[in-house]
Amino acid sequence: MEMEEELNEKKVLCEKIITDINAVFLKDQDLASFEIIPKETNCNKSPVVHVEHNLGLESWCAQHVYDHAHRTLISHRRQSSAQQLRTLQQQQQSDSLAKYLNVALLINPDVTTFWHIRRQLVQKNRLSINKELQFSALVLSIKPKSNEAFAYRRWLYSFQSADAIDWPNEIGICERAADRCASNYHAWSHRQWILQSGPCLIQSELLRTEKFMRKHISDYSCYHYRQVLLGRAYELNFALFNDSGAGGSLPLASLQLLMANYGLKCEPKAEDLLQLLLPHVDLSSISSQRLRSFLYCCNVAANDMRLCAEQRLMYGLRDCFDLHRRAALKFIVEQCVRLQMGLASGQPLASEAEDLRSHLSTFDFDKHPFLDAVRRTESSLGGKHRRWCNLHLSFGYPAD
Amino acid sequence: MVKLFALSIFHKGASEARLLKTTADLQSFSFFQRGTVNEFMTFASKTIVERTQPALRQSVKQDAYMCHVYVRADNLAGVLIADHEYPHRVAHTLITKILDDFTAKVTADQWPNGTEATISFDLLPAFLARYQNPVEADPLTRMQNDLDETKIILKNTIEAVLERGEKLEDMVSKSENLSLQSKAFYKTAKKTNSCCSFA
């Protein structure tokens, strides 16, 4: 009898806390973060804290509240569909379902079933898409690595037209999540999805990712995203001109510096660089847009190679610096060889990748001063690097 | 991550260290943690200054953070709390520079009895913002080539700085500068071995 009373008391308390949290949701349209505040004992005050658009729940009650919400939701799910329909017909009921869902997912964002119930409610127009976007962003504030939350956002956006989506805001959400949690590949995958689905964000993304890489020096997830970004820029024939000077020119300083590092002198002019990168190629057979994008993207890759070298001087050895430098080098070498072979299309197809490999393995480096210089210089970077060059660039160094 | 969290200046007296000025950038911590984190950073800074001999430099690692300390021969001390990836050499160069600037603005007679309120020196926030990017400090590092990196003592935990018989846990519970909330926070965080996730 006593135990039952105690249980009942607990239930009332949990209901009260869930109602309090719901009240905050209703009152504050701009809720920015949720977190559990470590506090071991009940001080006879409400454990729901709401300050400047931040919501906190004291840790002593989190487990009880979660258990209660979980039990309520599961028992709802166990009802027959006829019963569910009857209860759902009453708007009030679905509201209260939402309040349990909110609390349960904020405390434990990994329960797919609960996300699924939300989807069902959205499909029945019981939850608004905008509110749901806000809620999933709130979940990301407590768990930046929640793949469920990112997937849910993509699902929600499938009901909206691309013009109606606030893409820069979406990028901001990814960036905050990646900033707070290292190796957050879920956030970067979501950002790749934005890159594929949204408007052309390449220019701002190139700036943002470089800044991010300078701060998160050993987080390879962002370096990887930048490699994808560069590939995408090339695929879209993207090129950007310098603002200064009449008509604007391509930024080519990094590429010129790269040439100098390989012992090749040239002016930072498009004609000179093309002569070095693509000798024996009939340039008139390639569209000028393709050539411009080729130079632009190679310049970005050259910039990254220099950045990695500088970072290495500043911070010492890091895998990220070496790996990213290799990826950038591979990009330049492969695009040179592809154009040399007459593969001017942006998209590297699967079959083409095979072609590229066989071309590379039979490529006559002696006839290509730039690639030959690369091959000579890179060989001084150690046995491990030489093996990598043999494997990926078919440089054909003798085995150690 | 390459990040600076806090900068503070102390005067190391005979019995304890006196905080003269401090600033912190805690935006990367979640909202309700910031107050506690701030208290703990000041607590750790003070503790380490008190256990560092004059004319000595130390870099103390604690979890993902690095606490760089320099106590000058005249007992003026600077503490910089950074992420462990922030270059140590740059951190110590910055402390030297800040203490030089401080000495130029605040005369030595104000140090032993100064408090945050009485000392007028408001360059710390600008310093903290500017040197988030260690490249900014490059000219400084070149100017102070005499900083001998091998003389910086490296310690792996705060516990390693404490004197024999001292325990961090006791010091936390005895400290008058930590609020009850922060003490509870420390206990809970220690138990779950994580400060930002539940379950």
Domains of chain B (ranges, CATH numbers):
4-162 (3.30.450.50)
**Mean pLDDT across chain A:** 89
| CB nearest to B85's CB, from A49, A143, A217 | A217
- B168 interfacial to chain A (CB closer than 8 Å): no
B199 close to A (CB below 8 A): yes
Nearest by Cα to A320 from A168, A218, A173? A218
Element (H, E) at B60: strand B56-62
Mutate to test the interface with B, among A37, A42, A106, A211 (most CBs of B within 10 A): A37
Whole-angstrom Cα distance, residue A269 to residue A168? Answer: 34
* Greater pLDDT, B141 or A11: A11
Of B33, B134, B199, the CB nearest to A314: B134
Is the CB of A67 inside 8 Å of chain B's CB atoms? no
**pLDDT (tens digit per residue) in B19-49:** 999 999 999 899 999 999 999 999 999 999 9
Smallest Cβ–Cβ distance between A54 and the set B28, B32, B181 belongs to B32
pLDDT tens sequence across A82-122: 676 666 665 556 567 899 999 999 999 999 999 999 999 99
**Side chain identity, residue A29:** Q
Number of domains making up chain A: 1
Is A216 within 8 Å of chain B by CB? yes
Angle of CA points A258, A260, A266, to nearest 5°: 105
Are A35 and B2 an interchain contact pair (Cβ–Cβ within 8 Å)?
Answer: no
Contact residues on chain A for B1, CB-CB shorter than 8 A: 182, 215-217, 219
From chain A, the residues in CB contact with B189 under 8 A are 38
Q: How far is B93 from A185, CA to CA, in rounded Å?
A: 36
Q: Which domain holds residue A260?
A: 205-400
CB pair distance less than 8 Å for B85 and A49:
no
| Residue B184 confidence (pLDDT) above 70 | yes
Q: Does residue A133 fall inside a structural domain?
A: no
Q: Is residue A90 part of a domain?
A: no
Q: Does B2 touch chain A (CB under 8 A)?
A: yes
Distance from CA of A206 to the nearest CA of B (A): 19
Contact A283/B at CB under 8 A = no
| Angle between helices A288-315 and A220-235 in degrees, nearest 10 | 170
CB of B3 within 8 Å of a chain A CB? The answer is yes
Nearest CA in chain B to A212: B1
- Tell me the whole-structure pTM to 2 decimals: 0.89
Tell me whether residue A249 is in a domain: yes
The answer to whether residue A28 sits within a structural domain is no
Per-residue model confidence as pLDDT tens digits over A112-155: 999 999 999 999 888 999 999 999 999 999 999 999 999 999 99
CA atoms within 13 A on the CB side of B116: 7
How far A50 CA lies from chain B's nearest CA (Å)?
10
Residue A342 in 3-state DSSP?
coil
The shortest C-alpha distance from B149 to chain A (Å) reads: 14
pLDDT range class, residue B161, cuts 50, 70, 90: confident
One-letter amino acid identity for A45?
K
Element housing B23 (H / E) = strand B17-24
For chain A, say whether B33 makes contact (Cβ under 8 Å): yes
Q: What pLDDT score was predicted for residue B195?
A: 42
